[in-house]
Structure formats: structure tokens, C-alpha cells
Structure 1
Amino acid sequence: MARTKPVLAAVAALAAAALTVSGCVSMPTAGPVQSYPVTQAAEAQNQLYVQIQPQPPRADWNPQQIVQGFLTASASFGSYSDIAKEYLTPEERAVWNPFWSAIVYKSGPNVKDPVYTSPKGKAKETATVQVTGKVQAYLTGKGGSYSVPSASAPDQAAIPQTSFSLVKLNNQWRIKDAPQELLLTSDSFQNDYQPTKLYFFDPAGKILVPDPVYVPLQAGGPRLLITGLVNDLISPPKDWLSGGATKTAFPAGTKIRRVTIDGPTAIINLGGTIAKTSKSSLTEVMQQVSSQLLWTLLSATQSGQAVQSVAVEVDGKPWTPPKAQGNPVQQLQVSPTYNPANGPSLPVFYAIDKAGYLTRRASTHDRPVPLVHIGTNFDQIAVSPSGKYIAALRNSVLYTAPTGDPLVKRGSGYLAISWDNSDQLWASTQTQIFMLRGAANPRQPFGQPVPVTIRDPYELQTGPPYTELRVAPDGVRVALISGGLALRFGAIDMQEEGQRAGQVSITITLSQVKDVPASGFFAPSGLTWYGSDSVITLTDAAGPAVTEYPVSGASATPIPADTDLQSITASYNHPLIASLPHGQLVELVGAKLNGAWMPIHDGGYAPAYPG
């Protein structure tokens, strides 16, 4: 299927999730800094990688030419670090190491004319060269974070000028003080970084949550790349997911003793505090750690070499999972105790029939089973993941009930609804998002609404009304549509507070991804999660358009759209289902969301997979 560039908002930041050794950064989100065709896993062996081969400094180059040559060489630092360091004085050569920290420029970097700083009347022996430009993103290489102004804002400011200090050595100019970041063009970033994912746990320690990041293609080889990824699992990046929404299973103070690659198997020898884990909790900790390692390392590929299995050692002693019959080598197909949440395992979905009955179907090929008469003209229904509760919207009025019971009116002014994986209902109004907590009474699907604080550290100038809201299958992330115009992703941080049991404060921290549909407005009931890594949207301006948007901010993928689509629902590895006018339902038949829309017998409207 053809890929299309998303019309992305400006990048407010690349909240960095950087590897100490190899460099790992959060996803770029706008303009020319986008994902590029790097094939994952075994298919990566066919990848074509094009890189400029830099040249060493020439004896007759002036300070401006030296800085320009250094920028070209350092842009390929992973492969040509020796050439880049030829531009430095011996003293600077010994200390300069950017660890893949970088400034990515939307325009630039522009090398200015040198300013000679030698005393008046003396020979030109020292100089300063400034580098300027409009910044696309700032990537930190040591696990920090940094934000820059929106790249599309009319008052976009350049980052403060970056300076190089130069001195003449043996009648040739050399850099004696260089910035501790790589200064990259957007094209250089595309050539030098590839997308991958780190996996962390939800607060309950039961579900793995992917954190999209980028790693350098030429990071010193697979062993150093793996070392860097494991370092980030031990000390999580300071990004949108790290404020309480996710956590790592690695005990604080865990150390990497050694990383070995034996064919397709990565052997990770750990030490430090993990070796002091009590016997009573050792199995659970090691299962969690192993699951994080397995999912993270299998998603990372470099130069065609793919990790297919993982073995974990503690102070040199192999750890064998329970029921592994003494084999410490773990594979994704059989080993992990913990996995990402992709949504319902069964193709069960719900809809309302023409007579106003809520119906349940075992699949798109099964007949609808009437559950209860709820009426007609509903804009949206949502069924909790357990199937115990239903919520519905009609003319902005919210109704709820245990599934199979008559609906009860709960309030008005609501725009969108979604259940999380704990059967808690989330809803948005014109000005606020609420979470409606489950009550002790099983006949009550929720208690008092809890207002949710929205935090946008990247200041991408989106806000209420949130016309669409969908909580991810992991219960940790949420997709929002702001004003019908912009798609945002957020991380849910829920903290107990107060002296009474059950009192909570809830914050959604938005990521740096902001997608704007090329086809116009997002449609009502036009947002749905598709697995753990992407959402599918429906826009209704100038005819329906269906699009898959990755959480990473990478390029969007168009999906074939039937005419007159009104609402849409998705579940990973199950058919995409949509409603048409006059009570018709259709499903997308074909592999990888690329096929034809076919009618579903008996029809209905407002289809919804649980969630």
C-alpha cells in the first residue's frame, strides 16, 4: 500500500529518550523529519542505505570551511568518527563525544563568516564561527528532555546561536571547542536514524506499553545498539510516558555486565541490584525483565542483523524461565509472560438494529443476538472490555447501564465516550474530559465524574473541545481529536490522593505528535485504536477518507474508503467495521487493511468493538 506524508503540526520538541552509548531518541513529529523506509526484522536485509562519505580537512581551508566540513563529517559520526575528529584539536578530540545528541534543523544549519578574535595587530590565530537555523527537534543523548518552539508557528525563533571556537595549529585551522551535539539537517536525520520501540510496563505491571523512539543506524554495531537500548530500559527516557503512566521492571541500580550476540540470540548479562533480588520475587522480576528485553530487542534491527531470541544472565549465571525445560533462550512465540495489549482477542462486536435493539454478534458472519431494547438515533455506543457495561450518546446526552438492562440517563453535553481496560468510562464535554470511576455497586457502571487535567509540555496549541476520545487497549494511552482538526496522543497518570479511599487525581500528558488530516475534519465516531501502535480515523470532508496513524508520528497510511461511511470501529486482527446510512453495516475484507468493503447481513448502525 502506498504511504502518504501526514500533514503534521510543528514539532514542539523531541522529548529525548537517548541511549548512553548508542543514542535513542523520541520520535520526530513534523515537517521533513519523518520516518523513512527502513524495513524491520529479517526484511531489513534488503534495505538500501545511502550515506555521504566525508573528507578530512584540507590545509588551505579557512575557519568557515573547517566548520562546514566538520558538520558534514559529524553528521555521519557513527561511521566516520575518526574523520570528524580530524577537525578537532588534540585536546578537544579527547573529550568530544556527542553520544548521538543532536539538533535537527528545519532550515540550516547555516555556517556564518568567521569572526577573528586575535588581538589587534596580531596574526589571525583564533576565530569564532556561529551556526544558526530554524530548529526541527532537539535530541538529547543522555536520557534528558528539551523542548523547542513550534516549527510552524509564525513567530518561530531559531535556537540560540551555536558557536565553534577555532585555533591555528601548524598553520592549519582546527576546532578547539565544539558543541556537544551533532548538528543535523533533516535529510541527515532520515539517513542516520531508524524507528524502534522500547517496552515498559503499565502501573499494575501486567501489560507492556510501546514507547516509540529512534536509534542511529550506525551506532557502533549491533552490540552497542543493544547495550544502549538495555540502558534505556534500566533508566527510562524522560518523555511523555514516563511521568507515572509507565514503569520499568528493572530494579534501580541494575548494571549491564556484558552483551553478547550469538547468531540471532542476544545474551544480556546483568548485575548490580538485580542480583540481590529476593528469592520470593526473583521469578516475577526476571519474567518481567525478560519480557521487556525480548519485545524491545526484537523490534530493533541494524544493518540487516535481527535479534530473534534473548537469553538473560545474572552475574554470569543463565536464568531459565519456568517450564522452559532448562533452556534459557527465549523466543517471542513461546516465552514472554507479558505482552502488549492489542484489544479483544475475539471478533465480537455490538451494534443497534433498525428496531432499536442492542445486538451482539460473535463475528461479522454471525447473526445478531438482541440483548435489550434501547431505542434509536444514537450517535455512538461503547461497550466495556469485560462486556458488562454499555454507554451511549444521543444528541449529547449520556446514557449508561449494565449490558442487557435499560439505559439510564446520566447527563448532557457530552461529545465522546470510551471505556478503559478496567471498565472505567471516559467522556469529553466542550470544556473538559472526565473519568467516571467504577462504583462498589455492580449495578452502577460508574460513580462520580473525576475531572482530568490535560498537560501539553510541547505547547502545540491544541485543546478542548475534544470531539473524539479513545483509550488504548493498554489503559495507559489515549487518542484525542482536538476541535475536530488535530489528532493527539496522551499518557494517563492516575494517582491516589486524599484521605478517603478511591480519591484520585488524573493527568493526561500529551505527546509531541500532532497529526492534521489532509482531507479536512475528523468525523464524529471517526477514531478507533488498531492494536498497540496505531489508530484509524475517519474524515468526512469532501467524501470519506480512512487513515491509519502510528503513535510514533511516522507517515500515515490511507485505507480504502467506501462512500457514505458514517462511523468506524476497529480491533487488531479483526475486520474493520463501518456504518452506512439507512442501517447498513460493512466490513473491510482483505489483508493488511487493503481490500474491499463488503456488506454485513442484517445491518445495523453505531457498530462498536468492546473498549
Structure 2
Amino acid sequence: MPDSGGLSGVESTPHQEAQVRVFAVPPRENASPGEIVQGFLEALTSDDPRYETARQYLTDGARRRWDPDASTTVLSDGPNADSQRHVGDQGTGDAYTYTLTGSKLAVVDEQHAYTPDSGGYSGTVRLTLDRTTRQWRIDSLPPGVVMGKSDFQRNYVSVDKYYYASNVPAGPGGQLNTVADPVYVRSKVDPVTSMVSSLLKGPTRWLDPVATSSFPTGTALAKGVASLSPDDQNKLTVPLNAKADRVGQTQCSRMAAQLLFTLQDLTPTGVSEIELQRSNGRRLCALNENRAELIAAHGTARHPDYGYFLDGKQRLVRLASGSTSTEPDPVPGALGEETRRLSTAAVSRDETSAAGVSADGRFLYVGSLVAGASIGEPVLSSQGPTPQDRLITPSWDGAGDLWVADRDPQHPRLVVLRQGAGEPLQVHTPGLDGRVNAVRVAADGARIALIVEKGGRTSLQIGRVDRRSGADGRIDISIQGLHSVTPQLEEVTAVSWAGDSRLVMVGRESDGVQQLRYVQVDGSTPAGNAPASLTGVKQIAASEDDRLPLVAYSEDGIVRLSAGAQWQKVLKDGTAPVYPG
């Protein structure tokens, strides 16, 4: 650098985030069978859009048979390849068979849905010597793609597709309830087009019974459309086939909203407007972010006014969202009075009502958050012999219904109170195996998170909420498709929804220490850092709006964690933190 002379201005360009792309290497001349297998496995981890280089390692027959989109098997490490040489079939010459082995972590199916898996993996790769070229090529191989965890994390990204809850009534103002359906797509191989195509095909099999799409059945991209990308105004134009030609403006706006919610965070600058086109290229409708929020609510659109917890007098108190204050105020109404001692509480999503469990866990009360509002008789009671065998923290869904579990050993049950009142409806739980320690219903009302205890172990399980109207007008509610999303953990003690498809939980592995971590509803670990460590966590609360801080009850009392900060003490004598929901 010069150390003398005058100053002069220079032009600069904005910093562009560099993306490293990995290119596959084709097979070299006269490569050995081991080199062919290794080169093929490395080519699977490249950013080659259609795996054209990987196909060069295959015989003509294997190229026709192999479907890389059938599945992606994720191993803890890259696959190990052990070879065995033998004489080919009918004496056609030497051949090699390689056995691929490893420890499975997950499988991504043809719908791009992620499912945790475990146990050993074994696949067979067979090579033959091409008679014409005298080159070794792979003649048979396992279906789909196999790779290690680190390559999977580099190659794939989790994105939420958005549909509408099919059996949950619309919210205030007619807003629909969106349901997030997370899938994994290749992050550097035209993810926008991949996500649009995936959305048009409909919800994944697990979510399909409780979600619906506004796109007519059979809707796809118009013929000849190979790639989609937003213009310099962040507007994305999506040409559709003839199946969508006759939809009305209301339905079209709902279709566009699904696309906008799905794609708005996928590109570096985001997508702020969607235009849908008919098969003849004429405009069908257009929708921007502001109008989309009027159609349906999701994510950061759900911004609570307050965070809530119990103070040292066991009354319900609150702090304004985003406030740095550490001086909470009692909530208006009876639940904020000293005469009503509570053990846990939950606040409705519109923040007009709250539910509280008595200090001994025996009674559930519901009251209005209005100054001077009284509280009546309990809406539910438990006959459990001890407080640990009675009512747990309740949870409100997006439709205004109140959920709570009774852990009475003689009469365990999960019930729903419509609008927080009336006769409790018992929820059928055909797939439940164990005792429910915690209930958290998603804002969409279509999914539920349960902490289930069995045999000294606790797991976090996700299920679908199925609602059906009976002949007598009663609503029949059941939890279907329950499955664990924390198979590697021995203990899960607290959980809260922390996004449309993300939860924050407190747990530990066998012989491990307690830790806070995020987990997706499909069981995968979301990108980004886990919450800062905190000792002695008993309860955790998060908002679907990730701009609001995490709040926890720990050995230091009520503490909170804002983005980019450290845990801050709010109140020493406080318990049971909750956000609305």
C-alpha cells in the first residue's frame, strides 16, 4: 500500500455472497473399478443439475434404470465401499461387486420429505467391463442417491411449502390457516423451480389428510417451462398448464399466496410478488406481500402483544413484546389477582382469554383478560392422586379451542374445550404409546406436539389433528400419524413451537447433558446455530415470530434470549413462561 501521495476516490461494488459450486469429474481413461465407484459416489455430491457426469460412470442399461430422484439416503459418514472380484455371468469375463455400507441417519423420499432413520445401510454396486471400450462401468446400483451427512447439509436446503388447513375454520376477517410442509431440495440446482413443482404436486403423504391446496388437481408448469427466476423487481411469473385456466380471482389469489409464502425467503433478495399465467400466456392474477397477508396468516404475521409467565405470587403477569423491561404487570382479570394461585397457564392466540391450572394441578380455570372480569367454576378437574398425576399446561390452537391432558393414572385423557368452554371432548389417540407430559398445538390447528413418557424415556412426537363432524353434530377429534422426531434423545423435558415448522426443545442424549436445540417437525435439524446454553432449564417458550426472544424458566428464574445477545435475567421468582398459544 502507498505511504504517501494524495487521496482519490474509487468505485466499489456491493459485496456479493460467494457460493462455492462443486463440479463432478468424469471417469478417466482406463480407470480401475475402485476409481469408478469412488468417482461415481463423489459425483453424487456435486451440483450437476441432472447428474449427467454421474451417469457417465454407468452402462447404458444402468443409465436407463437409475432414478436419482427416487430417494436420498443420508449416512453419518460417506458410504464405505468394500470390493469382491468374481467371474461374470455365463463366463463373460471378470466383474466386481462393491458393497456400500454405513450408518443411516435419514431418508428423503421422492416427495422430498425427510424421515429420520437408524441402523445399518447396505447397498450393492456391480461393475462390468464394456466389450467395446474396454472400460469399467457400473451395471447395477442401489436406487436413488446415497451420501454422508456433511455432503447432504452442503447440497440440500429445507424449505416450507404452504397449504391451507382443511378442517380448521377461517380466522378473524376470513383469513385462512396456512400449514407448513417442509421438504428438502438441492440448494444450488434451481431451487425456485424445484419448489414450485413440488408445491403444485400437493402436500406430502403425512400432511395430506389435514391440508389442502388451492391449485386444481393436475396443475403443473406450462409445457416448455424449464426454469423460473424472479426479475430485478423480485417478481416471479409462473406459467401454468390448462388445468388452471378457469379458476376465479379468489381462488387464483389463494394459489398465488401459497407460492409467495413458499418462495419469499428462498432467494437472496426474496420474492415479493407472484404473477400466475394461463396456458396461453395471458395473466391469470397477481399478488404482492401485503395482499397475501390478508388472505392467510403465517410466520411473522402472528405477532403477539405480550409474553406471559407466573410471578412469585403465582399469578399471571405479562411483559410487552420487544420490551427490555424486567418489571411485569399482572394481567387484567381474575387470573392476575393474588387470590388465584396457579401452577401453569396458557393465553389464547388473540390474547383475550387465558387458562390457568390451580397450584395443586387439580382444576382448570378459564377467564377473560379484561379488567374486573371474574372467574367461574373450573371447566375441568382431575382426580389424580398427586400434582404430578393431574392436569398439565394447556394449549390454545388457532381456532380458539383449548387443549389439555389429564395424567390421572386411572383415567388418563387428552381433551379439547371448544372456545375454552362447554363439555370437554375427549381426543382419540390410537397411535399413542405412553403418558403425555406436555401438549403444544400449532397455530394452524392441524398439527400437535406431544412429549410422551414410556419406560423411563421421554420423546417428542408430532401428530396430525383430524376433525370430523358426526351425524349428531358433535365433532370427533383424533390424533393421527404420531411419530417421534427425537429418536436419538433419551429425555425431552420441555418444548415450544418456534416457527411454522420448527420447535425448540430441552433434552439430552443417553449419558449426555441437558441442552437446548431446535428441531424441525420432520425430525431434521434446521440450519443455523442452536440457542445459547443455559443450565437447569425446566420450561421454554418461543413465538412463531422468530424476532421475539426465547423465554425460559431455569434455576435463575425467568430469563430471556434475544437474537445476538446472551441470556438475561427477567425475574428471580417466576415460573411457567408462555407466549400466546
Normalising by structure 1, report the TM-score.
0.73
* Residue in structure 2 matched with residue 528 of structure 1 by the alignment: 496
The partner residue of 1:410 within 369, 374, 381 is 381
Contact 1:416 1:429 in 2 (8 A): no
**Is 1:371 the equivalent of 2:336?**
no
Q: Quote how far apart the aligned CAs of 1:252 are.
A: 0.5
* Residue in structure 2 matched with residue 419 of structure 1 by the alignment: 396
Q: How does 1:94-109 map to 2 (within 5 A)?
A: 94=64, 96-99=66-69, 101-107=71-77, 109=79
Contact 1:547 1:556 in 2 (8 A): no
| Alpha-carbon displacement from aligned partner over 1:217-264 (angstroms, at most 9, x marks no partner) | 343xx3xx333212221223534323x232222111112113543343
| Matched residue type, 1:507 | I
Supply the distance in 1 between the matched residues of 2:513 and 2:492 (Cα, whole angstroms).
11
Q: Quote how far apart the aligned CAs of 1:215 are.
A: 1.0
Contact 2:417 2:423 in 1 (8 A): yes
**Is 1:49 the equivalent of 2:4?**
no
**Is 1:318 the equivalent of 2:300?**
no
Supply the distance in 2 between the matched residues of 1:353 and 1:134 (Cα, whole angstroms).
48
Supply the distance in 2 between the matched residues of 1:296 and 1:452 (Cα, whole angstroms).
32
The partner residue of 1:168 within 117, 122, 130 is 130
Contact 2:317 2:329 in 1 (8 A): no
Q: Which moved more, 1:420-429 or 1:161-170?
A: 161-170
SS in 1 for 2:342: coil
* Residue in structure 2 matched with residue 438 of structure 1 by the alignment: 418
* Residue in structure 2 matched with residue 504 of structure 1 by the alignment: 476
Contact 1:66 1:173 in 2 (8 A): yes
| Alpha-carbon displacement from aligned partner over 1:530-575 (angstroms, at most 9, x marks no partner) | 3434334457999996555454532674545777766444433445
* Residue in structure 2 matched with residue 340 of structure 1 by the alignment: 298
Q: Quote how far apart the aligned CAs of 1:268 are.
A: 0.4
Supply the distance in 1 between the matched residues of 2:84 and 2:451 (Cα, whole angstroms).
48
The partner residue of 2:160 within 197, 221, 238 is 197
Supply the distance in 2 between the matched residues of 1:129 and 1:604 (Cα, whole angstroms).
61
Q: How does 1:134-283 map to 2 (within 5 A)?
A: 134-141=103-110, 143=111, 150-151=117-118, 156-159=119-122, 161-164=123-126, 166-170=128-132, 171-203=134-166, 204=168, 206-219=176-189, 222=190, 225-242=191-208, 244-257=209-222, 258=225, 260-261=228-229, 262-263=231-232, 264-277=234-247, 282-283=248-249
1:374–1:382 CA distance, 2 compared to 1 (3 A): farther
| Alpha-carbon displacement from aligned partner over 1:402-427 (angstroms, at most 9, x marks no partner) | 33314515224233321212222222
Q: Quote how far apart the aligned CAs of 1:467 are.
A: 1.7
SS in 2 for 1:452: coil
SS in 2 for 1:416: coil
Supply the distance in 1 between the matched residues of 2:554 and 2:38 (Cα, whole angstroms).
58
Q: Quote how far apart the aligned CAs of 1:126 are.
A: 5.2
| Matched residue type, 1:535 | L
1:59–1:383 CA distance, 2 compared to 1 (3 A): same
Contact 2:185 2:194 in 1 (8 A): no
Contact 1:294 1:310 in 2 (8 A): yes
Contact 1:114 1:127 in 2 (8 A): yes
| Alpha-carbon displacement from aligned partner over 1:153-212 (angstroms, at most 9, x marks no partner) | xxx3435x3343534232222233444412223333223212222112112471222222
1:218–1:124 CA distance, 2 compared to 1 (3 A): farther
SS in 2 for 1:532: coil
The partner residue of 1:380 within 335, 338, 344 is 344
* Residue in structure 1 matched with residue 466 of structure 2 by the alignment: 494
SS in 1 for 2:428: strand
1:286–1:395 CA distance, 2 compared to 1 (3 A): same
* Residue in structure 2 matched with residue 87 of structure 1 by the alignment: 57
Supply the distance in 2 between the matched residues of 1:438 and 1:215 (Cα, whole angstroms).
39
Supply the distance in 1 between the matched residues of 2:50 and 2:217 (Cα, whole angstroms).
35
Contact 1:575 1:587 in 2 (8 A): no
1:72–1:527 CA distance, 2 compared to 1 (3 A): closer
Over the aligned positions, Cα root-mean-square deviation in angstroms equals 4.0
Supply the distance in 2 between the matched residues of 1:566 and 1:191 (Cα, whole angstroms).
34
| Matched residue type, 1:56 | P
SS in 2 for 1:423: coil
1:100–1:190 CA distance, 2 compared to 1 (3 A): farther
Q: Quote how far apart the aligned CAs of 1:100 are.
A: 6.6
| Alpha-carbon displacement from aligned partner over 1:312-364 (angstroms, at most 9, x marks no partner) | 112211134xxxxxxx4x44355443231558534235555555655566666
Q: Quote how far apart the aligned CAs of 1:66 are.
A: 2.6
The partner residue of 1:452 within 419, 428, 431 is 428
* Residue in structure 1 matched with residue 30 of structure 2 by the alignment: 59
| Alpha-carbon displacement from aligned partner over 1:564-588 (angstroms, at most 9, x marks no partner) | 766444433445445578xx97563
Contact 2:355 2:394 in 1 (8 A): no
SS in 2 for 1:212: strand
SS in 1 for 2:42: helix
Supply the distance in 1 between the matched residues of 2:534 and 2:73 (Cα, whole angstroms).
43
Q: Quote how far apart the aligned CAs of 1:291 are.
A: 0.9
Supply the distance in 2 between the matched residues of 1:118 and 1:348 (Cα, whole angstroms).
72
1:184–1:331 CA distance, 2 compared to 1 (3 A): same
Contact 1:202 1:208 in 2 (8 A): yes
Contact 2:496 2:540 in 1 (8 A): yes
Q: Quote how far apart the aligned CAs of 1:299 are.
A: 2.8
Supply the distance in 2 between the matched residues of 1:478 and 1:446 (Cα, whole angstroms).
22
Q: Quote how far apart the aligned CAs of 1:289 are.
A: 0.8
Supply the distance in 1 between the matched residues of 2:315 and 2:104 (Cα, whole angstroms).
55
| Matched residue type, 2:345 | I
Q: Quote how far apart the aligned CAs of 1:509 are.
A: 2.6
| Matched residue type, 2:256 | S
| Alpha-carbon displacement from aligned partner over 1:251-301 (angstroms, at most 9, x marks no partner) | 111121135433433210112322133xxxx12211111011112122323
SS in 2 for 1:453: coil
Supply the distance in 1 between the matched residues of 2:534 and 2:355 (Cα, whole angstroms).
28
* Residue in structure 2 matched with residue 292 of structure 1 by the alignment: 258
1:191–1:470 CA distance, 2 compared to 1 (3 A): same
Contact 1:104 1:189 in 2 (8 A): yes
Supply the distance in 2 between the matched residues of 1:44 and 1:189 (Cα, whole angstroms).
27
Q: How does 1:575-586 map to 2 (within 5 A)?
A: 575-578=549-552, 586=558
Contact 1:354 1:376 in 2 (8 A): no
Contact 1:566 1:580 in 2 (8 A): yes
Supply the distance in 2 between the matched residues of 1:561 and 1:76 (Cα, whole angstroms).
35
1:73–1:570 CA distance, 2 compared to 1 (3 A): closer
* Residue in structure 1 matched with residue 9 of structure 2 by the alignment: none
* Residue in structure 1 matched with residue 486 of structure 2 by the alignment: 514
Supply the distance in 2 between the matched residues of 1:351 and 1:291 (Cα, whole angstroms).
35
Contact 2:345 2:354 in 1 (8 A): no
Supply the distance in 2 between the matched residues of 1:226 and 1:453 (Cα, whole angstroms).
38
Contact 2:193 2:228 in 1 (8 A): no
- Structure 1 gap ranges (5+): 1-42, 321-327, 457-462
Contact 2:220 2:240 in 1 (8 A): yes
Q: Quote how far apart the aligned CAs of 1:598 are.
A: 4.5
Contact 1:253 1:272 in 2 (8 A): no
Contact 1:74 1:80 in 2 (8 A): no
Contact 2:21 2:47 in 1 (8 A): no
